[in-house]
Amino acid sequence: MHGYNDCKIRALMKHRITPLLVLAALTCAFGVAQAEKADRSKPMNIEADALRHDEVKQTSVFSGRVVMTKGSIVLRGARLDVRQDAEGYQSGIVTAEAGKRAFFRQKRDTLPGAPEEFIEGEGEVIEYDGRTDNVRFITRAELRRYRGGALSDEITGAVVVYNNLTDVFTVDGQKKALPASGSEGQASSGGRVRAVLAPKDPKTPASAPGSSATSPAPAASAPVLRPSTSLGGATQ
């Protein structure tokens, strides 16, 4: 294990720890179909005050004002733990400073002529499971969608889980998640789930170019976030 303190570290997807730093997990959050596709080919940049890498355990820990960028993706927190299992699946855990929340932001692909959209999420802890392709926002969790610079949809709860493959999210307003400090967290909004979902804009292009005009299609930019029929975040 190697330790680096009081230094500025920039990881540019190189050298031996390259596989560990590929947080495709976090870059694909909030749906492969809707996420900015160009992000996949962009280099990953990670800045932190310190890095500790364990070659045997295949783990890397970035600590101190961690900022990760990859294309349109921005991820911020106090600590980033990256792990790769024997099958090559990667997982990442971002932890915020005490009293604060970790932050995630990514641009979404939209149809030509539609306004730009961004997804933002916050939580005291943000977890990504590369095997299940889920991203979890834990304790004081919040998920937001911005359309044309204006807030469109907003979801809050104790735990928000977004499935990248199905574009479905679940929200738990009752679960008391454990923050990094180990103390018991409180469910937000008095243990209730809160959601604000904006209606679709009829002026938005109804279909992609080349589609049939014989039958009307519903207005569509990127699909509106859809809650599942049951509450509760998926366990890892």
CA 22, 60, 65, 37: dihedral to nearest 10 degrees?
Answer: 10
Does residue 235 sit within a domain?
no
pLDDT at 194: 72
The CATH number given to whatever domain includes residue 151 is: 2.60.450.10
Residue 234 lies in a domain: no
Comparing 115 with 214, the larger pLDDT belongs to 115
Side chain identity at residue 79, one-letter code: R
Query: Is residue 209 predicted with pLDDT exceeding 50?
Result: no
**In the structure encoding, which two tokens stand for residue 34, read together?**
């809707």
* Whether the predicted pLDDT of 73 surpasses 60: yes
Distance CA 44, CA 47 (A): 10
* Per-residue CA distances from 139 to 100, 102, 142, 184, 231 (Å): 11, 10, 9, 10, 15
Could you tell me what percent of the chain has a pLDDT over 70? 54
Whether residue 236 is contained in a domain is answered as no
Per-residue pLDDT at 86 exceeds 60: yes
Domain that holds residue 59: 2-227
Backbone angles phi, psi at 174, to 5 degrees: -105, -30
The string of pLDDT tens digits covering residues 110-127 is 889 999 988 899 999 998
* Confidence at residue 64, expressed as pLDDT on a 0 to 100 scale: 96
The predicted structure's pLDDT at residue 190: 58
For the chain, the domain total comes to: 1
